[in-house]
Amino acid sequence: MTITQNSGAVPQSIAVFGAGPGLGQAVARRYAREGYAVVLVARRQKPLDLLAEELVADGTTAHVITADLSDTDAVAPLAERIRARVGNPDAFYYGPAGSDTGFTRATTLTPRQAQDFMPLAFSTLLALVQEFLPHMIQRGHGAILTAQGASAVLGMPGRSGPGPALAAQRNYLQSLHAEVAEKGVHIGRLYIGAAIESSAFHADMEKARAAGTSVPQWPTVDPAHLADLLWTMHTTKGQPEVIYPAGFLGH
């Protein structure tokens, strides 16, 4: 695969799993500003190459790896490809999105549909934690960061489908944080009740609105602001879970 990097040595690194438009790219840019080497992981090569070129132009070391994160069995070789570039990363962000939201009514959700959400929402993240967490614990520092939609926190009418799988992810990460926080590893979770500017969801919402279709009145948010929240969660090791906007869903 294509590797793009500058010649400077960067002591810390982050792997961004789901470096698509919106928050994934904003996280990559945020960590790049702090001097991190960035490994960009997503399905499509061209957008990753363009982002890597941007980061390199700003003086960052950037690597591109294409992967289908719904294929949990491919995590072990993916981890080896990452180690070949930067070693075991100091942090990783996990926030991939499927090709569509997959939202459906709870009354029509089938067992097969529910199972189909599990690899991307839960199983691949679990496999990545098994690959990289032991090295973070051994070093005594590290961060595992995630960002997901509000359906992981509260079921809503017509918004089932990915929600149950994301709720399983949240439960797992809550337990993980309780087990590893005192070992220097921070598990940061961001749950978003807003449409992220530049994301596919935001674009679809704007198209529907322009066509005169009724759409939920979600607030919008700059992905750079959300990336700042994740960076703060990592560096301060304060709140392990943040819900945006504040007060959304009563939190």
pLDDT in tens, 166-206: 999 999 999 999 999 999 999 999 999 888 887 666 566 65
DSSP code, position 25: H
Q: pTM of the full predicted structure?
A: 0.89
| C-alpha torsion sign, points 40, 46, 49, 51 | negative
The model's confidence at residue 211, banded by pLDDT at 50, 70 and 90, is: low
Q: Is pLDDT at 77 greater than 80 in this prediction?
A: yes
Q: Is pLDDT at 7 greater than 60 in this prediction?
A: no
| Mean pLDDT estimate for the chain | 88
Both tokens of residue 187?
């598990």
**DSSP letters along 39-99, please?**
EEEES-HHHHHHHHHHHHHTT--EEEEE--TT-GGGHHHHHHHHHHHHSS-SEEEE----S
Domains and CATH numbers, the chain: 3-250 (3.40.50.720)
39, 94 in Cβ contact below 8 A?
Answer: no
CA distance 188 to 183: 15
pLDDT in tens, 37-56: 999 999 999 999 999 999 99
